[in-house]
């Protein structure tokens, strides 16, 4: 899904999409670090529907 389809993603799921304020770019570093840490547990092709909520909570 492309970034331009963020409204559809939010409508189809319960996932909220947030964008960094262009005037305040410093949150981007935190986002990039968080995404890198997630990749340690989940590859991009990982199907999270196979994991239980308890497993996902344990990782979080």
Note the pLDDT of residue 14: 77
Q: Give the count of domains, the chain.
A: 1
CA dihedral 14, 59, 56, 43 (to 10 degrees): 80
* Whole-angstrom distance, CA of residue 17 vs CA of residue 6: 6
Neighbours of 9 (CB within 10 A): 14
Instruction: Write out the chain's pLDDT in tens, 60 residues.
Output: 566 777 777 777 877 777 777 787 777 788 888 888 888 878 878 888 888 889 888 877
Question: Which domain range does residue 50 map to?
Answer: 3-59
Cβ-based neighbours of 48, under 8 Å, separated by 6 or more? 42, 56
Note the pLDDT of residue 1: 54
Written as six digits, the tokens of 10 are 């939010």
């Amino acid at each position: 899904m492309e970034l331009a389809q963020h409204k559809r993603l939010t409508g189809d799921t319960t996932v909220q999409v947030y964008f960094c304020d262009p005037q305040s770019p410093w949150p981007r570093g935190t986002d990039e670090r968080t995404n890198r840490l997630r990749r340690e547990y989940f590859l991009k092709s990982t199907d999270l529907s196979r994991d239980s909520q308890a497993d996902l909570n344990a990782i979080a």
